[in-house]
Structure 1
Amino acid sequence: MKEFNICIDIDGTITDPYYWIPSANEYFHKNIKPEEVTEYPIDKTMGISEEEYIKFYNENKFEIHDKEEIRKDAGDIICKLYNTSNIYFVTARYKELEILTYNYLNRHNIPYDGVYLLGSPHKVDIAEKLNCDVFIEDSPQNALQLSQSGFKVILLDTNYNRQVSDENITRVFNWNGVYGIIEKMLLQSKAV
């Protein structure tokens, strides 16, 4: 029986964090590079209004999310973790992306025990409901919100989350780092 519960964000966490740049550059006639993405949300990085970004996103979200590349080793590591832990994908995506999200995970052979599309970046309530032992994230705001609510957070390093730190947040630079931390957590939970 699996006793460890892992919650995982999707966009920027299992996928390339800069997946949206080519589409946004084309749409807004910009030439933003990943190293310039030092702020979150995206509209600030692009130098546009929130309304302009929302319009762009609504017009392009299906194509953008369908074509996102998966981060190196994410699929393999999640498969390993699935052998010992419950895997729950918890995303701010809206319900209208549900079929696309399931198709994406299945196409990349990523196993899961549940997928939750919240339509909101507020993930604390679902983390509580799922008895989350660790949450894997890229968003600086989400990481802090979860951490300050008492959840252990593994933060995958990006240019836009470097300013975030908290006692419950552990920064890693790749999915092998995620695996190492969770293996230690699993060993500690068995020792108790």
Structure 2
Amino acid sequence: MTIKRLGLDIDGTVTSPKTFLPYLNSSFNKKLSLTDITQYDLANLLNITQEEFFEWLKSNEETIYSNALIAEHAHPILEDWKGNYELFYISARGNHLLDTTKNWFTTNRVPYHHIDLIGKHDKINSIKKHQVDVFFEDKHDNACDIAEECDIPVILFNTPYNQGAVPSGVKRLDTWPEARNWLQQYNKNGRA
């Protein structure tokens, strides 16, 4: 199979997984580092209710997403890929953040062909609709579900909050250069 269309999560994948930390620390009087974020459920980690967390997120998301730092080494690799692959970003962000998201992509000169903000973590229908060939993700259960339901390879960027066993279709990698090398090998051999 020749890979033509890359599916990419945004938050914690293209943006740094540390993006939320200064806002969490400031708002909740914490001194958290990335190694302290050992679960995806931040409400549980902060010892607040889901409702309290979503209210906090709702009032802060535009600022956080507008000022997000791009993940280390992601920019030159995405820039290199834009001529060889179609870049489809599929994110759990709500569609009300489309202008904020596109402005961030423009400001940071991050190439894209399509942005789909679906407002939920279940990305399977969007991945199938856009006929994505491989997906890049940071959320453990998303990576596992996508690999199994869509029968495509998934790159899971390794973080303290996404540990756990993964099926054979999920490749856990630490860096964007490793992802670039994986994709080159896959295209060369039909597997990596």
Q: TM-score, normalised by structure 1?
A: 0.93
Partner of 2:93: helix, strand, or coil? coil
Q: 1:164 to 1:64 in 2, by over 3 A?
A: farther
For residue 38 of structure 1, what is the aligned residue in structure 2? 38
Match of 1:160 in 2: 161
Give the unaligned 5+ runs of structure 2.
Answer: none
CA drift at 1:3: 5.9
RMSD: 1.6
Partner of 1:106: 106
Contact 1:144–1:164 under 8 Å retained in 2? no
Q: Gaps spanning 5+ residues in structure 1: where? A: none
Displacement after TM superposition at 1:31 (Å) = 2.2
Runs of 4 or more consecutive aligned structure 1 residues displaced over 4 Å after TM superposition: none
5 Å-filtered alignment, 1:99-138, equals: 99-138=99-138
What is the percent sequence identity of the aligned residues?
Answer: 25
1:87-142: per-residue Cα shift (whole Å, max 9, x none)? 10000000111011111111111111111000111111111111111000001121
Which residue in 1 is equivalent to 2:22? 22
For 1:11, the equivalent position in structure 2 comes to 11
Worse overlay, 37-46 or 95-104: 37-46
Mark the CA change 1:188 to 1:67 in structure 2 (over 3 Å): closer, same or farther. Answer: same
Aligned residues: 189
Deviation of 1:79 (Å): 1.1
Determine helix, strand or coil for the equivalent of 1:89: strand
Helix, strand or coil at the partner of 2:161: coil
Q: Is the 8 A contact 1:4 1:133 kept in 2?
A: yes
Q: How many Å separate the matches in 1 of 2:23 and 2:112? A: 29
Shift of 1:83: 1.7
User: Deviation of residue 18 (structure 1)?
Assistant: 2.1
Q: Where does residue 175 of structure 1 map in the other structure?
A: 176
Deviates more, 1:21-30 or 1:111-120: 21-30
Matched, 1:59 2:86: no
Alpha-carbon spacing, 1:13–1:164, altered in 2? closer, same or farther (3 Å): farther
